[in-house]
């Protein structure tokens, strides 16, 4: 199985439209069940950095300066001040592989809450996948004599993959199992690497290269 992301992902109430006017996955017109596969993955965590909240927020606001470095090994193409195209590496399973790309938008900060969502780009409608991606980063300044900011981060993916015919005839449980394993593996790897890259890059930006950060918690979600 392979994954990608190509649709907006603003938090929705049940049955609501997104800010771009698109229906949630469960309310889209449903193709025959055997022709597609729905996959989910989620991951969340907390990490502490030795800095005050405003200094870290100022760094995050300047995403044009760090996004290309911190999303490695993905390639990042700026499309506007808030929108970027991410190019994934090749991935897959059961003889089916893709090198997906997708758009992301970084939304304006709201009271030290930063959000990143997938967004549809021209030509995405013809792709064999649909993904709703939502990520958030909330900054909490901790009490104490040493300035410390805790970052609460959360990532959610809802993926619909249109299956080629040779996968449609395989046992459904096998296809679902392999697809879920690939999605979870990629989600863990990229989220953990992104966390490391952002923390390291931030410290470098304030002249404290190689300064350690503290991973408080990380877990897979439902």
For 86-98, write each residue's pLDDT tens digit. Answer: 888 877 788 878 7
CA dist., res. 167 & res. 1, Å (int): 10
Rg for the chain (alpha carbons), in Å? 18
The alpha carbon of residue 185 and the mean position of all alpha carbons in its chain are separated, in whole angstroms, by 13
Residues 111-139 have pLDDT tens digits of 999 999 999 989 888 888 887 889 999 99
What CATH code is assigned to 35-221? Answer: 3.30.530.20
Structure tokens at 114: 């930063």
Partners of 154 in beta bridges: 44, 136
The pLDDT tens digits of the residues spanning 143-162 come to 988 999 999 999 998 888 89
Give CA–CA dist 152/156, Å, rounded: 14
* DSSP H or E segment with residue 176: helix 172-205
Reported as a single tens digit per residue, the pLDDT across 178-215 is: 999 988 988 898 899 999 999 999 999 999 998 999 99
Q: Which residue has the higher pLDDT, 97 or 142?
A: 142
Domain ranges of the chain: 35-221
Task: Please state, for a pLDDT cut of 70, what percent of the chain lies above it.
Answer: 85
Task: Check: CB of residue 183 under 8 Å from CB of residue 150.
Answer: no
Does the structure show a pLDDT above 90 at 2?
no
Q: Please give the DSSP secondary-structure letter assigned to residue 59.
A: H
């Amino acid at each position: 199985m392979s994954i990608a992301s190509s649709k907006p992902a603003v938090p929705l109430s049940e049955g609501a439209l997104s800010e771009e006017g698109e229906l949630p996955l469960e309310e889209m017109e449903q193709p025959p069940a055997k022709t597609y596969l729905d996959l989910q993955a989620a991951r969340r965590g907390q990490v502490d950095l030795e800095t005050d909240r405003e200094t870290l927020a100022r760094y995050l606001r300047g995403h044009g300066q760090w996004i290309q470095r911190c999303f490695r090994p993905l390639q990042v193409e700026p499309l506007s001040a808030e929108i970027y195209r991410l190019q994934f590496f090749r991935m897959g399973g059961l003889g089916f592989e893709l090198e997906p790309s997708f758009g992301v938008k970084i939304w304006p900060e709201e009271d030290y809450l930063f959000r990143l969502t997938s967004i549809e780009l021209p030509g995405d409608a013809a792709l064999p996948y649909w993904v709703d991606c939502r990520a958030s980063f909330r900054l909490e300044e901790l009490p104490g004599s040493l300035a410390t900011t805790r970052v609460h981060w959360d990532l959610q993916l809802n993926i619909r993959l249109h299956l080629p015919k040779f996968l449609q005839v395989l046992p459904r449980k096998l296809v679902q199992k392999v697809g879920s394993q690939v999605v979870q593996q990629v989600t863990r790897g990229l989220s953990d690497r992104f966390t490391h890259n952002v923390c390291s890059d931030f410290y470098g930006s304030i002249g404290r290269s190689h300064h350690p950060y503290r991973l408080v918690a990380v877990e897979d979600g439902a």
